[in-house]
Amino acid sequence: MEKIIIKGGYKLKGEVNISSAKNSVLPIIAASILSGDVSIIENAPMLEDVFVICKVLESLGADVQLDTNTNCITIDTKDINSKEEPHSDLVRKMRASFLIMGPMLSRFGRVKLSLPGGCNIGSRPIDLHLKGFSALGAQIDLGHGYVEGRANRLIGNKIYLDFPSVGATENIMMAAVLAKGETVIENSAEEPEIEDLATYLNSMGACIEGAGTGTIKIKGVEELKGVRHRPIYDRIEAGTYMTAAAITKSQIKINGINEEHMKPILAKLSECGVNMEIKNESVIIYGEGDIKAVDIKTMPYPGFPTDMQAQMMALLAIAKGTSIITETVFENRFMHAPELKRMGANVKIDGRSAVIEGVKKLTGAEVKATDLRAGAALIICALAAEGCTSISDVYHIDRGYVDIENKLKALGANIERINY
Ligand code: UD1
């Protein structure tokens, strides 16, 4: 077991490079199934979640090579076999494994998968994914903890999503690219990662318009080929380092941002009084002065991302005044609040809202990462807290942050990882 130990109160300085977006790379790897050819993902983040989806593809018969020197992943999906089933542990371990359902159904007309199950931040159903596949003509059967999909060939259709689910939009889009005729997904999710997936699919030969908006049109094609792709930067990793600079009142340069993708986060940090300067694909954070209390409501993109909610709660813990955070995307995503309270934060939870009274100082404590972004929030608090913080269950953090303690150490943080 590993822990991260942080001695707070050190200013950060210097530069940090942002990795490619985990939430782009996972569906892109799943989409590689569609070609039956060789694809290369450049600048891939070497993360636990990425390793899991690669193992899922391998369990289906793909040849996957991860080169940790060049950060390239080479995926040959020629020998994928629809008779194989990925081990249920892999699908249960990471919900995003379910993203192989659309590509498998589209290429082979058959797929059987373990149901992804619940997770810490909410029940996270898959009904929207399945409704989409049914609308494309697939027969879906559920039973004994498995979902099975069958179709001769999927047929394009009009699909309206009750909620703009990121995963459902991606899964249906991947199912529709090889379907017969045109598919229109309405009320589709607009996240930048969906646009990135469409860019990848289009370069493979797909015909997708409107990705990144609320209506996506897909004209089915007969086949796709393997390509090279460099995914977009991770806007959540960048936002996490921005809050780390703001809470420690530090000046740092963050390289690898897309200003358009970052707008919801940049606007909220500006409202908090954080000064910044954007130059090309970098931002300099001038973390001087007090943090102002703000209200936040998480929403699908271009609203404020739920994946930055925990990190913002950490920052608002030391703001001047009272902030209210309303979580509208997931029903149980305040698990970090009791841990932040152990560090002196004054947070009250009432249903889907959290009321945060800013305090003058935070203090180091023994805390536990309850999920990926909750873990990031604890690191942010610990950087500013008086004394030492010990964070356990750091495997959650490793699912989504490349080399976080070394990146922070290079910025001057007093941080180390220990085995216990
Ligand atoms: C993706 C991201 C995750 C992010 C989330 C919301 C990846 C790998 N993960 O997760 O980091 O927090 O988007 O931005 O990209 N829902 C249903 N039925 C469904 C599908 C979803 O009711 O069939 C609900 C969920 O329970 C949740 C909401 O829709 O309340 C949003 O979920 P969704 O957008 O699907 O998130 P994910 O794709 O799982």
- State yes or no: is 54 an active-site residue: no
Q: Which residues of 218-235 are buried (b: 16+ CB within 10 A; e: fewer)?
A: bebeeebebbebebbbbb
What value does the mean pLDDT of the chain take? 95
3-state secondary structure of 231: coil
Do residues 298 and 331 make contact, with C-beta atoms less than 8 angstroms apart? no
Atom 7 of ligand 1, residue of closest alpha carbon: 23
CA of 165 to the centre of ligand 1 (A): 5
DSSP state of 276: E
pLDDT at 82 over 90: no
Q: What tens digit of pLDDT does each residue of 182-198 get?
A: 999 999 999 999 999 99
23 known member of a binding site: yes
CA of 232 to the centre of ligand 1 (A): 19
Integer Cα distance of 181 and 123 in angstroms: 34
Atom 21 of ligand 1, residue of closest alpha carbon: 165
Give the closest residue to 196 by CA, choosing from 9, 403, 24: 24
CA separation (Å) from 352 to 301, 344, 349, 356, 395? Answer: 19, 21, 7, 13, 26
Kindly give, in sequence order, each residue whose CB lies less than 8 Å from that of residue 24, ignoring residues fewer than 6 positions away.
192, 193, 196, 197, 231, 232
DSSP bridge pairs for 363: 386
Sheet strands side by side (includes 215-219): 158-160, 182-186, 215-219, 207-209
Sign of the Cα torsion 83, 113, 170, 40 reads negative
Integer Cα distance of 59 and 327 in angstroms: 36
125 known member of a binding site: yes
Residue to substitute in 166, 197, 309 for testing ligand 1 pocket (most ligand atoms within 8 angstroms of CB): 166
Tell me the residue length of the chain.
420
pLDDT at 404 over 60: yes
Q: Quick check: CB of 50 below 6 Å from ligand 1? A: no
Q: Quick check: CB of 125 below 6 Å from ligand 1? A: yes
HSE, side-chain direction, 13 A CA sphere, residue 48: 15
Confidence of residue 14 (pLDDT cuts 50, 70, 90): very high
Q: What tens digit of pLDDT does each residue of 133-181 get?
A: 999 999 999 988 889 999 999 999 999 999 999 999 999 999 999 999 9
Q: What tens digit of pLDDT does each residue of 339-381 get?
A: 999 999 999 999 999 999 999 999 999 999 999 999 999 999 9
417 known member of a binding site: no
Integer Cα distance of 378 and 344 in angstroms: 12
DSSP bridge pairs for 186: 160, 215
- Please give the structure tokens belonging to residue 67: 């080169």
Integer Cα distance of 238 and 243 in angstroms: 9
Q: What tens digit of pLDDT does each residue of 309-336 get?
A: 999 999 999 999 999 999 999 988 999 9
357 Cα distance to chain centroid:
28
pLDDT at 311: 98
Q: Which atom of ligand 1 is nearest to the CA of 330?
A: 30
pLDDT at 178: 97
pLDDT at 95: 87
Q: What tens digit of pLDDT does each residue of 254-308 get?
A: 999 999 999 999 999 999 999 999 999 999 999 988 999 999 999 999 999 999 9
3-state secondary structure of 151: coil
Do residues 75 and 150 make contact, with C-beta atoms less than 8 angstroms apart? no
Per DSSP, which regions of 90-204 are E strands? 110-114, 139-143, 146-150, 158-160, 182-186
- Averaged pLDDT for residues 88-105: 90
DSSP state of 411: T
Kindly give, in sequence order, each residue whose CB lies less than 8 Å from that of residue 268, ignoring residues fewer than 6 positions away.
294, 296, 304, 312
pLDDT at 65: 97
232 Cα distance to chain centroid:
12
- Averaged pLDDT for residues 219-244: 98
90 known member of a binding site: no
- Please give the structure tokens belonging to residue 372: 């990926």
CA of 47 to the centre of ligand 1 (A): 20
Sign of the Cα torsion 38, 206, 139, 108 reads negative
**Which range is least confidently modeled, 84-88, 112-116, 259-263?**
84-88
- Selected residue with higher pLDDT from 89 and 46: 46
Among candidate residues 54, 72, 119, 272, the one labeled active-site is 119
pLDDT at 118 over 70: no
Question: Which amino acid, residue 62?
Answer: A
